[in-house]
Amino acid sequence: MKEIILSTESGADLPEDLKVKYNLYTVPMHIIMDDKDYPDGSLPVEEIYSYYERTKKIPSTTATNVHEYEELFTAIRKAHPGCDIIHIGYTSKASSSFQNAVIAAEEFEDIHLIDALNVTGGLAAVVLYAAEIVKKEPETGVDQLIERIKRTVPKARLSFIPGSLEFLKAGGRVSNAGSLIGTLLKIKPRIDLKDGKLISTKKYRGKMKGAGKKLLHDYFSEYNLDPDQLYFIYSAGLDEETRQLMEQTAEDYGFRNIRWIQAGGMISTHSGPGGFGVAGLEK
């Protein structure tokens, strides 16, 4: 049976140890500051926040380009001759990255593209679901695996609270008026991935500690989740007390296998410092 290799974008925020464990390949998206292009992951996210403090400008982001996908697929094929490549991509409704992957794949054989319609921990949940199958069920064929992944994509649930409304506003997610009112009233919007798009669904009042707990209560009430796969996403600046409270809240709901994922440059540019989110798969 042919070897199956999985790939995705840096916007999945996969931790390095999991990439090594499952032999996962990633290709960078991009951060733009003062017209200089930085591949996602090439600089600490703290530099993004420092840049904003110095300039009051929010960095912009760009998609992975066609040439980078061609290089990715070529490198995988060189390291794993004759393999099938399944690329599970960042939502096509928020980036042109997936379309660029489609264009690049036309030059190759045995490359299968799946639009995860998700980002960060939601995308990671789908990729790691597939990675577990590849690792534990090596007899699974590529067509069967693709079908299982496609059935899982609509079950991935991501909700998060951005750390900074200024960063969210710069990404075009809320209006200037909404940002100002939210700041004055200490309102934190909940952002969900729905049909591949980022949508503000609820608002919580107060600091992140209380808002994050309310988010988890709502999230666990709304979705019938697989208890063995839960991901907490945070952007740099989330305090340890809040992290501990989020873990305790999840444990109170019966979750024991919680994995923290730090948002990389792509996601942090839209979330800002101190953001918190949760992702998992419905049963």
pLDDT digits (tens, 9 = 90+) for 146-155: 999 999 999 9
Given this model, what pLDDT does residue 175 score? 41
> Rounded to an integer, what distance in angstroms lies between the CA atom of residue 256 and that of residue 248?
10
Interval 157-205: pLDDT, tens: 999 999 887 776 665 544 444 554 555 567 888 999 999 988 888 999 8
Q: What is the mean pLDDT of the chain?
A: 92
Backbone angles phi, psi at 282, to 5 degrees: -70, 150
Name the strands in the sheet holding 111-115, side by side, starting at the edge strand that comes first in the sequence.
Answer: 25-27, 4-9, 84-89, 111-115
Give the closest residue to 271 by CA, choosing from 84, 72, 116, 61: 61
The percentage of residues in the chain with a pLDDT greater than 70, rounded to a whole number, is: 94
Mean pLDDT of the region 82-93: 97
| Burial class of residue 67 (count of CB atoms within 10 Å of its CB; 0-12, 13-18, 19+) | exposed
Given this model, what pLDDT does residue 184 score? 53
Return the CATH fold of 156-282.
Hypothetical Protein Tm841; Chain: A;domain 3 (3.30.1180)
CATH architecture of 4-30+62-152: 3-Layer(aba) Sandwich (3.40)
Give the closest residue to 107 by CA, choosing from 65, 66, 63, 64: 66
Q: Where are the beta strands (DSSP E) in the chain?
A: 4-9, 25-27, 30-33, 36-39, 60-62, 84-89, 111-115, 156-161, 187-194, 197-205, 225-234, 258-262, 276-282
Interval 192-238: pLDDT, tens: 999 998 888 899 988 999 999 999 999 999 999 999 889 999 999 99
Given this model, what pLDDT does residue 183 score? 58
pTM of this structure: 0.94
Interval 98-138: pLDDT, tens: 999 999 999 999 999 999 999 999 999 999 999 999 999 99
Distance of CA 107 to the CA centre of its chain: 27
Given this model, what pLDDT does residue 63 score? 96
> Rounded to an integer, what distance in angstroms lies between the CA atom of residue 283 and that of residue 270?
29
Which one is predicted more confidently, 176 or 264? 264
Domain ranges of the chain: 4-30+62-152, 156-282
Instruction: Report CA Rg, the chain.
Output: 19
Residues listed for the chain: 283
Given this model, what pLDDT does residue 228 score? 87
Q: How confident is the model at residue 140 (pLDDT cuts 50, 70, 90)?
A: very high
